[in-house]
C-alpha cells in the first residue's frame, strides 16, 4: 500500500472515528469534565452560590477553603475531622468484611453439586439490585429501639442499644464495659483535625454500625457475582493437579484458588474502597449525620457545607480532598497487591533448576 | 431522622419526603454547578435601593416546602385565587428538599420568584445578593409583629414578609393527667412545680415530660433562666443562666421524669406524646395537626410553659416569603405576598394547616376561633428566637449533637464549646 493512499484512508478513518466517538465525548465532557473543572475552580474561589462561578465578581482565594477544613481550627475543621473519623471506621470494617463474605458466598454457589444454585445466586444478589433508599428505610425500622433486631437480641437476654439514636462509639462502649470511662491524657489532650485521639479511637457509633451491617448486606451480592465470574474462569486442571499433589480443601483454596483470583480481588477491593468513601444516600435518607455527628461522612459533609450552609468553596474542597484520599488509597492497595517477583522466583527456583538441567546445552544459544 | 433545625414542620412528613430523595454527592454538586439553565449570565444585580422592582408579564413560580396535603392545597388555592384576580399566571411548586432546590435556583440565575425562607438561611442568601428586600414596600408592613420583622431584618433592611409563626408550649395528656390525681390547678408555673408534676406523671410505662434533644426545645429552659445563645448581636452561650438551665434538665433526666424523645423510641416529641410514652411534651403549633391526623382520640391541653428563675420563656419559629433578586416580575410577586399575608388569608391558612398569623390584626379573631390554643399566642409576648446569623445553623447543629449526650455531659464545657463556635460568626 502506498503512503499516499494510506494517509488518505487514515484521514477518512480518523474523521469517522471522531464522528462516532463524538456523542460520548460531548456527553462525558459536558456532564463530567466541565462540572469537575468547575468544582475544582469553586474549591479555590469565594463563589457564594449565586450566578455563574466563572463570573467576574468571583475571586480566587487560593487554598483558603482547604485550610478552613484542614487547619482552620473552627467548626468546619472539626466537622471534617469527625467525618473522616466516621468514614475511616466504616471503610476499615466494611471492606474486609464485605470482601470475605462475598468470596465465601461465591465459593458456596460455585459448587457444582449445590442444589438450587440458581435460587441462591438470585437470593444473594437480590439486596444489590434493591434501591439503597428502600433498604435504608427498611433498616431504620429493623434497628429502631423496639425493632426486630432488638427484639431478637432480647430473646438471648441482650438489651439492644437504641441503634440510630446512640452516638456512643462501640470501642468506647466496650471500654466502658470494663470500667474505662476516660481516656489517658495523652489521647484526650492531643488531637488531629480538631478531633482528639480518644475520639478518633471511639469506634463507629451504634448508628454507624447499623450502616456498616447494611453496606455489607447490600454490596456482598454484587461482589459475589464478580468473584463467581472469576471462579468460573478458572480451569479445573490446576485444581485437579493440586488434588493429585494431595492438597486439602483449605490448602487448595488458599494456595491455588485465591492467588488465581488476585485480579478479581483487586477489582473488588478497589470498588469497595471507592464505594466506602462515597457513602451518601444512606446518610441523606437515614440520619443526616446524626446522632452526635457520628454518621457524618465527608461526602455528606460536602453536600451539607455547600447546599445547607452556603459554604460552596468548602464543600467543593472537601469533595476534592475526598478524591485525593480515594486515589491515594487505591494506589496504596495496588502496591500492596502487586506481583512480588522476588518471592515468586524463590518459590519457582527448584522447578527452574530442573528445567535448566533438563535442557540440552545446544538449545540455549 | 431528626426534625429540621428551625423550620417547624411535621417531622413525619419531613422524613417521608427525605425518603424520596437520594443522590450521589459529586453528581449533586455537578448538577448544581451546571444547572445554569439560562446560560451563565448573572441576572440583574440586586438593587440596593429596594425601590426598583422588575415588572413584566412573566408567570410567577412559588416554591414551598409543604408539611402535607392540607398545606399544599391551601397555598395552591390562595395562589390560584390571586391569579384569577390579577390575571397573571402563577404556579406552586412543592420542594422535596427546599434548601437544595433554592440553592440550585440561585446558582442557575433562574430561581422561583417567591419561596419559603427560614430564619437560618436568610443571612447567607442575603449576603450573596440572591434576595430582593421588599419588606418596607409592603402595604401591611406595620401590621406584622415587630419581633418577627426583626428576624427578617438583615443589615437594617426588612427583607421579607413573615408568612406565619409558631411558639412552643407545654402539651398535656388530659387522661394521664387526671389519672395521676392532678387537676387544672396543678398546671406548673415554675420549674419546681414542673419537676413535681413530671415526677408524679412518671410511671413504668411513661415518662412525665419529653422533648427532642435539640436546642430548638431545650432553648426554652435557657430562656426561662434568663439566658440565650446570642443577645444584642453578641454570643452569650456560656452564661451562668444557660448552665443553670442545662443542669436543671440534667437533674430531671437523671431522675427519669424527663426523657429525650429519641431515648424512648420516638422520632420526635409529638410521636412519644401520641403513643402515650410521655404524659407531657414541649412542642409547637404543628403538633395539633399531627395529633389530629395520627392520634385523633387523644385529649390534650395546651398550656404556657412554666416560668424559670427569670420568668416565662419560650422559643418562636417563623418562615418568610422570600423574593428572588433574579425574579423578572417582582412587582407582581410583591402583590402576591400582600395577598398571601393579608389578615383573612392568614386566618384561612391557620384554619387549614395550623400556624399562627404573623399580623397583629388577626390575633383577636384567631384567639376566638382557637380558644384551646391561646397559650401558643400568649407565648409570643416573651418568646425568644434562635440566632439567625450566617453560620448559626451549623453552630446549633453542633450544639444539638452534644445535647444528645447531655445526661453524661458537663454543662459548662458543653456551653463553652458553643460559645467558641458562636464567637466567630457574631463578631
CATH number, domain of B118, equals 3.40.190.10
Helices (H), B203-326: 215-225, 240-255, 269-274, 286-294
Distance from CA of A39 to the nearest CA of B (A): 7
B92, B66 contact by CB (below 8 A) = no
Residues B171 and B213 in one domain: yes
Of the candidates B29, B121, B421, the beta carbon closest to that of A319 is on B29
Residues B356 and B287 in one domain: no
End residue of a domain, out of B352, B376, B400: B376
Residues B248 and B396 in one domain: yes
CATH number at residue A163: 1.10.3720.10
Chain A interface disruption, residue of B7, B33, B127, B388, most A CBs within 10 A: B33
A334 lies in some domain? yes
- C-beta atoms of A75 and B263 within 8 A: no
pLDDT at A163: 86
Distance from CA of B306 to the nearest CA of A (A): 28
- Overall domain count for chain A: 1
Q: How far apart are CA A345 and CA B354, in angstroms?
A: 78
Contacts of A52 in chain B (CB under 8 A): 36, 40-42, 109
Of the candidates B20, B29, B128, the beta carbon closest to that of A50 is on B128
- Run of H or E residues at B73: helix B69-86
Residue B412 makes CB contacts below 8 A (sequence gap 6+) with: B238, B243
- Structural domain including B44 reads 11-23+30-166+317-376
Residues B98 and B213 in one domain: no
pLDDT in tens, chain B (427 residues): 333 334 443 343 333 333 333 333 334 444 444 443 333 434 344 444 445 788 888 899 999 988 778 889 999 999 999 999 988 999 999 998 898 899 889 888 889 999 999 888 888 888 888 899 999 999 988 999 988 898 898 888 899 999 999 999 999 999 999 999 999 899 999 999 999 999 999 998 899 999 999 999 999 999 999 999 998 888 999 999 999 999 999 999 999 999 999 888 888 899 999 999 999 999 998 888 888 888 999 999 999 999 999 999 999 999 999 999 999 999 999 999 999 999 999 999 988 888 899 999 999 999 998 899 999 999 988 999 898 888 888 899 889 988 988 888 899 999 999 998 898 888 7
- Structural domain including A90 reads 79-338
A137 lies in some domain? yes
- C-beta atoms of A51 and B33 within 8 A: no
B400 lies in some domain? yes
Distance from CA of A155 to the nearest CA of B (A): 19
Q: How far apart are CA B64 and CA A77, in angstroms?
A: 33
Contacts of B35 in chain A (CB under 8 A): none
A46 lies in some domain? no
pLDDT at A327: 92
For B337-358, the pLDDT digits (tens) are: 999 999 999 999 988 888 899 9
Distance from CA of B296 to the nearest CA of A (A): 23
Q: How far apart are CA B207 and CA B276, in angstroms?
A: 9
pLDDT at A309: 85
Contacts of B124 in chain A (CB under 8 A): 49, 309-310
- C-beta atoms of A309 and B23 within 8 A: no
pLDDT at A6: 52
pLDDT at B11: 40
Of the candidates B18, B29, B421, the beta carbon closest to that of A315 is on B29
Distance from CA of A267 to the nearest CA of B (A): 21
pLDDT at B15: 38
Residues B146 and B18 in one domain: yes
Based on the number of CB atoms within 10 Å of its own CB, is A266 exposed (0-12), middle (13-18) or buried (19 or more)? middle
A219 lies in some domain? yes
Q: How far apart are CA A144 and CA B266, in angstroms?
A: 9
B212 lies in some domain? yes
Nearest in space to B161 (alpha carbons), one of B151, B171, B169: B151
B1 lies in some domain? no
Residues B56 and B130 in one domain: yes
A39 lies in some domain? no
B6 lies in some domain? no
Residues B43 and B73 in one domain: yes
Of the candidates B26, B129, B398, the beta carbon closest to that of A75 is on B398
A67 lies in some domain? no
Of the candidates A51, A131, A280, the beta carbon closest to that of B25 is on A280
Radius of gyration of chain B (CA): 22
pLDDT at B12: 39
Distance from CA of B369 to the nearest CA of A (A): 37
pLDDT at B31: 41
Strand partners, B93: B63
Residues B334 and B224 in one domain: no
pLDDT at B415: 94
Contacts of A167 in chain B (CB under 8 A): 401, 404-405
Contacts of A284 in chain B (CB under 8 A): 18, 21-23
pLDDT at A247: 85
pLDDT at A9: 58
Residues B86 and B155 in one domain: yes
Q: How far apart are CA B334 and CA B160, in angstroms?
A: 10
Convert B323-334 to b/e letters by CB count within 10 Å (16 or more is b): bbbbbbbbebbb
Residue in B closest to A137 by C-alpha? B19
- C-beta atoms of A39 and B30 within 8 A: yes
Q: How far apart are CA A7 and CA B289, in angstroms?
A: 77
Q: Is B162 left (phi over 0), alpha (psi -120 to 50) or beta?
A: beta
Q: How far apart are CA A331 and CA A334, in angstroms?
A: 5
CB-CB neighbours of B344 under 10 Å: 12
B307, B224 contact by CB (below 8 A) = yes
**Is the sign of the CA dihedral B265, B266, B271, B277 positive or negative?**
positive
- In Å, how far from its chain's centre is CA B351? 18
pLDDT in tens, chain A (365 residues): 444 555 555 678 889 999 999 999 999 999 999 999 999 999 999 888 888 888 888 888 888 899 998 988 888 999 999 999 999 999 999 999 999 999 999 988 887 677 788 888 888 888 888 888 889 999 988 998 888 998 999 999 888 888 888 888 899 889 988 888 787 888 888 888 888 898 899 899 999 999 999 999 999 888 999 999 999 888 888 888 888 888 888 888 888 888 889 889 999 999 999 999 999 999 998 888 878 889 999 999 999 999 888 889 999 999 999 999 999 988 998 888 887 765 544 454 444 444 444 444 443 33
Contacts of A57 in chain B (CB under 8 A): 42
Cell of A348: 519457582
- C-beta atoms of B262 and A293 within 8 A: no
- Residue B173 phi/psi, 5-degree rounding, is -80, 115
Residues B281 and B296 in one domain: yes
Distance from CA of A77 to the nearest CA of B (A): 11
- C-beta atoms of B34 and A38 within 8 A: yes
- C-beta atoms of A310 and B24 within 8 A: no
CB-CB neighbours of B321 under 10 Å: 23
Kindly give the pairing relationship between strand A195-196 and strand A191-192. antiparallel
Q: What is the end-to-end Cα distance of chain B in Å, rounded?
A: 33
- Overall domain count for chain B: 2
- Residue B319 phi/psi, 5-degree rounding, is -130, 160
Of the candidates B19, B33, B127, the beta carbon closest to that of A39 is on B33
**Is the sign of the CA dihedral B272, B275, B279, B284 positive or negative?**
positive
B364 lies in some domain? yes
Nearest in space to B109 (alpha carbons), one of B49, B33, B55, B53: B33
DSSP codes, B31-63? HHHH--TTTT---SPPPSSTT-----SPPEEEE
Residues B152 and B296 in one domain: no
Amino acid at each position: 500500500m502506498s503512503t499516499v493512499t494510506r494517509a488518505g484512508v487514515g484521514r477518512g478513518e480518523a474523521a469517522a472515528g471522531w464522528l462516532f466517538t463524538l456523542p460520548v465525548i460531548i456527553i462525558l465532557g459536558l456532564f463530567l469534565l466541565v462540572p469537575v473543572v468547575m468544582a475544582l475552580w469553586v474549591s479555590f474561589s469565594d463563589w457564594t452560590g449565586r450566578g455563574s462561578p466563572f463570573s467576574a465578581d468571583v475571586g480566587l482565594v487560593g487554598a483558603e477553603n482547604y485550610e478552613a477544613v484542614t487547619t482552620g481550627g473552627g467548626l468546619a475543621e472539626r466537622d471534617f475531622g469527625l467525618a473522616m473519623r466516621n468514614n475511616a471506621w466504616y471503610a476499615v470494617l466494611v471492606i474486609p468484611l464485605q470482601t470475605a463474605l462475598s468470596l465465601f458466598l461465591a465459593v458456596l454457589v460455585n459448587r457444582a453439586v449445590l442444589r438450587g444454585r440458581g435460587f441462591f445466586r438470585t437470593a444473594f444478589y437480590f439486596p444489590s439490585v434493591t434501591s439503597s433508599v428502600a433498604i435504608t428505610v427498611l433498616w431504620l425500622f429493623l434497628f429502631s429501639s423496639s425493632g426486630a433486631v432488638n427484639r431478637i437480641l432480647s430473646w438471648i437476654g441482650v438489651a439492644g442499644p437504641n441503634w440510630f439514636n446512640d452516638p456512643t462509639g462501640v470501642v468506647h462502649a466496650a471500654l466502658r464495659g470494663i470500667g474505662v470511662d476516660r481516656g489517658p491524657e495523652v489521647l484526650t489532650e492531643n488531637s488531629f483535625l480538631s478531633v482528639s485521639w480518644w475520639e478518633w479511637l471511639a469506634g463507629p457509633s451504634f448508628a454507624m454500625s447499623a450502616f456498616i451491617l447494611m453496606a455489607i448486606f447490600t454490596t456482598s451480592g454484587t461482589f459475589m457475582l464478580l468473584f463467581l465470574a472469576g471462579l468460573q474462569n478458572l480451569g479445573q486442571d490446576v485444581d485437579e493437579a493440586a488434588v493429585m499433589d494431595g492438597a486439602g480443601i483449605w490448602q487448595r483454596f488458599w494456595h491455588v484458588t485465591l492467588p488465581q483470583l488476585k485480579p478479581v480481588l483487586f477489582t473488588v477491593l478497589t470498588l469497595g474502597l471507592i464505594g466506602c468513601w462515597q457513602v451518601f444516600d444512606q446518610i441523606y435518607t437515614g440520619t443526616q449525620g446524626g446522632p452526635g455527628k457520628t454518621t457524618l461522612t465527608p461526602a455528606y459533609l460536602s453536600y451539607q457545607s455547600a447546599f445547607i450552609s452556603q459554604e460552596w468553596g468548602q464543600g467543593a474542597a472537601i469533595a476534592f480532598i475526598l478524591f485525593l484520599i480515594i486515589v491515594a488509597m487505591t494506589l496504596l492497595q495496588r502496591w500492596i497487591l502487586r506481583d512480588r517477583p522476588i518471592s515468586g522466583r524463590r518459590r519457582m527456583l527448584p522447578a527452574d533448576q530442573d528445567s535448566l538441567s533438563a535442557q540440552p546445552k545446544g538449545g540455549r544459544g | 431522622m431528626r426534625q429540621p433545625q428551625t423550620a417547624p414542620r411535621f417531622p413525619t412528613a419531613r422524613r417521608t419526603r427525605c425518603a424520596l430523595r437520594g443522590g450521589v454527592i459529586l453528581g449533586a454538586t455537578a448538577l448544581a454547578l451546571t444547572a445554569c439553565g439560562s446560560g451563565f449570565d448573572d441576572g440583574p444585580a440586586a438593587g440596593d435601593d429596594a425601590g426598583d422592582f422588575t415588572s413584566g408579564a412573566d408567570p410567577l413560580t412559588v416554591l414551598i416546602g409543604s408539611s402535607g396535603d392540607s398545606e399544599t392545597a391551601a397555598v395552591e388555592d390562595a395562589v390560584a385565587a390571586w391569579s384569577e384576580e390579577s390575571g397573571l399566571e402563577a404556579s406552586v411548586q412543592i420542594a422535596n428538599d427546599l434548601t437544595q432546590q433554592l440553592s440550585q435556583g440561585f446558582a442557575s440565575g433562574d430561581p422561583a420568584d417567591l419561596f419559603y425562607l427560614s430564619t437560618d438561611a436568610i443571612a447567607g442568601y442575603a449576603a450573596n445578593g440572591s434576595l430582593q428586600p421588599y419588606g418596607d414596600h409592603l402595604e401591611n408592613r406595620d401590621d406584622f409583629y415587630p419581633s418577627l420583622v426583626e428576624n427578617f431584618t438583615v443589615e437594617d433592611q426588612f427583607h421579607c414578609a413573615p408568612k406565619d409563626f409558631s411558639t412552643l408550649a407545654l402539651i398535656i395528656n388530659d387522661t394521664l393527667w387526671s389519672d395521676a390525681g392532678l387537676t387544672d390547678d396543678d398546671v406548673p408555673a415554675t420549674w419546681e412545680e414542673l419537676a413535681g408534676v413530671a415526677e408524679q406523671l412518671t410511671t413504668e410505662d411513661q415518662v412525665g415530660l419529653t422533648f427532642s434533644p435539640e436546642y430548638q426545645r431545650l432553648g426554652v429552659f435557657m430562656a426561662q433562666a434568663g439566658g440565650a445563645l446570642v443577645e444584642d448581636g453578641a454570643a452569650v452561650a456560656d452564661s451562668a443562666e444557660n448552665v443553670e438551665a442545662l443542669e436543671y434538665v440534667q437533674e430531671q433526666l437523671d431522675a427519669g421524669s424527663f426523657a429525650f424523645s429519641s431515648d424512648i423510641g420516638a422520632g420526635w416529641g409529638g410521636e412519644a406524646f401520641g403513643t402515650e410514652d410521655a404524659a407531657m411534651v414541649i412542642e409547637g403549633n404543628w403538633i395539633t395537626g399531627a395529633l389530629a391526623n395520627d392520634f385523633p382520640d387523644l385529649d390534650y391541653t395546651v398550656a404556657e410553659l412554666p416560668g424559670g428563675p427569670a420568668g416565662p420563656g419560650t422559643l418562636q419559629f417563623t418562615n418568610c416569603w422570600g423574593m428572588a433578586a433574579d425574579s423578572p416580575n417582582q412587582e407582581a410577586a410583591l402583590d402576591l405576598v400582600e395577598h398571601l399575608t393579608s389578615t383573612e388569608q392568614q386566618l384561612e391558612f391557620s384554619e387549614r394547616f395550623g400556624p399562627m398569623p404573623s399580623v397583629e390584626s388577626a390575633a383577636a379573631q384567631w384567639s376566638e376561633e382557637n380558644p384551646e390554643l391561646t397559650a401558643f399566642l400568649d407565648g409570643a409576648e416573651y418568646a425568644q428566637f434562635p440566632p439567625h446569623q450566617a453560620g448559626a445553623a451549623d453552630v446549633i447543629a453542633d450544639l444539638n449533637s452534644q445535647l444528645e449526650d447531655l445526661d453524661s455531659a458537663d454543662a459548662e464545657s458543653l456551653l463553652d464549646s458553643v460559645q467558641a463556635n458562636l464567637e466567630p460568626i457574631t463578631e
